[in-house]
Structure formats: structure tokens, C-alpha cells
Structure 1
Amino acid sequence: MRQIVLDTETTGLDWRNGDRVIEIGCVELLNRSLTGRHFHVYLNPGRGIDAEAVAVHGITEDFLADKPKFADVAADFEDFVRDAELVIHNASFDVGFLDNELSLQGRGKLDRLCVGVIDTLKLAKEQNPGKKASLDALCDRYEIDNGHRELHGALLDAELLAEVYLAMTRGQESLIMSLDDDEPATRLGDADGVARVRVPVKVLRACESELQAHDGVLADIAKANKGLCLWLPPEEPAAA
């Protein structure tokens, strides 16, 4: 499973008003492990940058004056993300900007390049309704060190988001059986033809005293509910 954790910085908040992408940062996950491969580029947008945006990311027009245009890096960007699943925080924002950049070059949008998008902002709100879901808040929640993050930066934020995403979805790892277990494992073929590993499960059966205690609890439930207990078989009607 190949995933690309992605972030962008922009000249402003809305590509519909002519705002452009000025930084792209991506890191690669393969089977939920960072590979060390990344894609990072600063871009000359050919327009001014809102003062509010500069206050967030610190990227100035002077800094970008000698940087490439998006058209110069579009092919390399497509090659890096092609056929991967994207992981993005507030995905609609970044996808909207990148789709606009690709469209301006007559290229296909991300949904034609990639197999899907996971929005970690949406995921965080589903997992913890009512709690803060910013990247900084999630770093605090999952105890990920972001002390070096004074300003937003696409590559740094992508690296932090990768750690946050892995922490948010760590429960999935319990479904992956280790081949190094002491217990013998049986390899089975699923309907899709992919081999799965099944580790024998140790069954603990109730002893006599535990069974008696269980029956006592069911009897108490039946008594409190005038003989009704879902876990007891219905009483047979008395013979005439």
C-alpha cells in the first residue's frame, strides 16, 4: 500500500480568486512505514502573496523570485504521486489548489492520478467530536514533538502529518499478524487470492464455579424482570 502524505502553502485562501501554490511537500509511506523518499519544491506564483499568508508561512515574493514555475515541475510531481493514496489535512483546500494548477497546464486532475484521498481533518473530527483538530492540536494529542514548527511549511507539515496519521490509525496494525510469533501460524488463501496469516487462538473455558456464578446472574435478571431474560430459554408451558 503506497500513500503520499501531502501539504501545500499558497499565496492566499482561495484559488478561485487567483491564488496560487507556492510550496509543495510530500513524504512517502509504503505499508505504513516512512520510506525516506520525499518531494519538495518552492514555486514562483507569478503574483503577489497576501500579507496574512506570509504571516502564516513566512514565504516572501523575494524568496520565490528565482524559483521554478509549477509548469516546470508538474511532470515530476505527477510521477511522485501517481497511483498512490493521498493523505491530506483539510484535503479540499490542497486538492482544490493543486487541481487548479494542473488544469492551468492542461493536465488531468488528482482524481485521475491517484487512487483516493484520506482527509485527516475529517477523520480527526469523527474520532473526537467537538475537540480541536488542527495539526498542532493533533500533535499534542498523540504526543508528537512539533516544537520546531514556528511557521507553517509544506514539507515539515507533511512529515508531522505522517506521524499523526499513523498514530490516528494505529489500531489497524492489530490486524497484521506477525510471522515471528512463537505460535505456529496457518496460511490461508482468501477469495481474492491474497494469502492471509491466521494465528491459533487460545480458548479459555469457564470453570464450574464461574458457570454457577453466571447462572446466578441470569436468575437474578429473570427475577427482576418477572421471568424475562434474553439469555435464558423460554419456559415450557405446564402440561394440562
Structure 2
Amino acid sequence: MSHRLISFDTETTGLHVESGDRVIEIGAVEILDREKTKATFQTYLNPEGKAISEGAKQITNINESDLKEAPLFKDIEDEFINFVKGAELIIHNAQFDIGFINNELRLAKSKIKDIRDICSVYDTLVVAKEMFPGQRNNLDALSKRLNIKGYDRTFHGALLDAQILADTYLNMTGGQVSLDLNNTTQEVKETQNQNIKVEFDVSHITIDENDQTEHEKFLKLLSKKSKQEINW
């Protein structure tokens, strides 16, 4: 069976879970065989009296009045857990969303204390910082850099961001050649710094014109995948 991935995002009343901020929307998108499926999970949540910050209102266009009839987390907990259980969660800035979800689990007196007990986590922000050091790597900047199009970004929503994140993740991981080449370069540098003397025999291989043509085709493909010019 293919490894199941879930692109995941939350919207919250504010930025500080330790100060009582709550989740007001959950969005999740299933990915199988490197394709988004039609399986999604989305719900708004009643923050039980916690006011939504002005910043969150401007970003999400969600107000307290919009959530009066929304369910509590404990009311949707089982459905949510069933959707994500056993999957790898794709999250941008995972520490933030995990902190908020774990807080909701705690408040709901759930048997699950940490969402990571039932899911593994892949943080696209950590990977983006390695791929694009020194650049802005929030989801908006990253998706724009990777040419993710077709979404209205007037307001943020958890399901909308989960859809964008899914496309962003697929784009990032489709270019793993770049990461592998960088890792190889680093390993070579480390080996050189250790002044290790390596003795080996060199084999001389003769190639014909067809082999050369196929090699050049491969280099073009590799350059396209890695977004770097490959000359070897």
C-alpha cells in the first residue's frame, strides 16, 4: 500500500497557544502516489469564548459571530483522528500547528496526548530553509517562488492553505536531485577536510557516439530536475 500523506493546516485566534489562543479551523488534504485525492477534512471550531485577534481576523476574514454554531473540538475529534491516523502530516512550520492541535487534544481530555503518537511529521519550512537559505520561506513566498498558481489568496483558510501546501510539497520533493547534489558536495568537502588519502585504480572506458548522445540527454534532464546546470 502506498504511503499516505496528509497536507495539514490550522487557523487560530492568535499566535500564542500558551496564552490561551485556540484553533478556529482545521484543513487537511490527502496525497497518495504523489497525487492529491478528493479526500479532504475541513471544519471550523468554536473557540469557546476566546476572542479572535484583529490580525487573525484580517488574515482569515473569520469573526466570532461566524463560529457561534461551529462544533467544539471534542465533537469532531474522532472524525479528525480517523482521517489523519497513520499518515505522515505535511505541515509548514510544524511546531506551531502541532502545539495548537495538542492543546485541543488536552482540553478535550483525549486519550491521545500528542498527535505525533499517531502520525509522523514532515516540516516543509525546515526543508525550505535548507533549499533557499537566507530567503523568505513562509508559505506565500515559497509557493510563489515555486510557481504555484490557481488559488485566490485574498484571505487565508486552513483548507485552502492545505491545498497550496500539498502542491508546494509535491513541487519541492519533485526536485530532490538538487538536495542530493548539495549533500554530495558537502560530503566531499568534509572528506577533503579530513585529509584522507584514498588509493584506487582508474578504469579507462571508451564510449561510442550513441553513448555520448544518451549521456547528454541525461544531463539535460538532470539539469531540468535540479534547476542547476550540470556539466559532467
- Shorter-chain TM-score bucket reads 0.7 to 0.9
Whose relative contact order is higher, 1 or 2, with alpha carbons under 8 Å and at least 6 apart? 2
Higher helix share: 2
* TM-score normalized with structure 2 length: 0.73
Aligned to 1:72, the other structure's residue is in SS state helix
- Say whether residues 1:157 and 2:158 are aligned partners: no
Task: For residue 137 of structure 1, report the CA deviation from its aligned partner.
Answer: 1.1
The residue number in structure 2 matching 1:50 is 53
The residue number in structure 2 matching 1:138 is 142
| Counterparts of 2:147 and 2:118, CA distance in 1 | 33
Aligned to 2:57, the other structure's residue is in SS state helix
The residue number in structure 2 matching 1:12 is 14
The residue number in structure 1 matching 2:117 is 112
Q: 1:111-148: per-residue Cα shift (whole Å, max 9, x none)?
A: 1121x111111110011101111111112111111551
Aligned to 2:27, the other structure's residue is in SS state strand
The residue type equivalent to 1:27 in the other structure is V
Aligned to 2:109, the other structure's residue is in SS state coil
Report runs of 4+ in structure 1 exceeding 6 Å deviation: none
Q: Specify which of 20, 23, 26 is matched with residue 24 of structure 1.
A: 26
The residue type equivalent to 2:155 in the other structure is L
* TM-score normalized with structure 1 length: 0.70
Task: For residue 28 of structure 1, report the CA deviation from its aligned partner.
Answer: 0.2
| Counterparts of 2:170 and 2:39, CA distance in 1 | 17
Q: Which ranges of structure 2 fall in alignment gaps of 5 or more residues?
A: 178-204, 209-232
Aligned to 1:62, the other structure's residue is in SS state helix
8 Å CA contact 1:136–1:146 kept in 2: the answer is no
The residue number in structure 1 matching 2:171 is 167
Task: For residue 26 of structure 1, report the CA deviation from its aligned partner.
Answer: 0.1
The residue number in structure 2 matching 1:237 is none
Task: For residue 62 of structure 1, report the CA deviation from its aligned partner.
Answer: 0.4
- 1:112–1:147: structure 2 CA closer, same or farther, 3 Å change rule? closer
Q: Specify which of 62, 72, 94 is matched with residue 69 of structure 1.
A: 72
- Say whether residues 1:206 and 2:210 are aligned partners: no
The residue number in structure 1 matching 2:129 is 125
Task: For residue 171 of structure 1, report the CA deviation from its aligned partner.
Answer: 3.3
Aligned to 1:143, the other structure's residue is in SS state coil
How many residues align? The count is 176
| Counterparts of 1:50 and 1:140, CA distance in 2 | 27
- 1:30–1:55: structure 2 CA closer, same or farther, 3 Å change rule? same
Task: For residue 6 of structure 1, report the CA deviation from its aligned partner.
Answer: 0.3
Root-mean-square deviation (CA, aligned residues, Å) is 1.5
Determine which structure has more spread, i.e. the larger CA radius of gyration: 1
Q: Which ranges of structure 1 fall in alignment gaps of 5 or more residues?
A: 174-203, 208-240
| Counterparts of 2:150 and 2:17, CA distance in 1 | 29
Q: Specify which of 2, 5, 24 is matched with residue 4 of structure 2.
A: 2
